[in-house]
Amino acid sequence: MCHGDLNQHHILMCTHDVAIVEFNRMHRGMQMEDLYHFMRKAMEKHDWNLKLGMSMLDTYSKVLPLSGADRTCLYYLFLYPEKYWKQINFYYNANKAWIPARNIEKLRDLEIQQPMRNLFLSRIK
């Protein structure tokens, strides 16, 4: 089973435990989807810090080892430019005559982060 929208907002750090909340997008699927969503969000917030990403994968692998198929799946999930398409769809569906400045800023941020994202992708392949 997959959470469907796993990110830092759905993880509660308690004194002796960790709790995961908001299962309204739960579905049958591959656990790599949840790992991808969690990691993508964290990596974007930290400018695709390679050390952080590799540390997250290593820590995950200590609990649940990643197979070659898992790594390939994760690679292709990261390869898809999800944030880019989210911004383009937002503009397209807003029916505005111009692109809002904030959307352009977000697209430029994605462009700036792309080299670090590519480096991370090359390491997980």
The answer to whether the CB of 91 falls within 8 A of the CB of 104 is no
Among 3.90.1200.10, 3.10.310.40, 3.40.50.300, 3.30.450.20, what is the CATH number of 8-124? 3.90.1200.10
Write down the domain spans for the chain. 8-124
> Tens of pLDDT along the chain (125 residues)?
899 888 888 899 989 998 989 899 899 988 999 999 999 999 999 999 999 999 999 999 999 999 999 999 999 999 998 888 888 888 778 777 777 888 889 889 989 999 999 999 999 98
Distance CA 25, CA 3 (A): 6
Side chain identity at 59, as an amino acid letter?
A: T
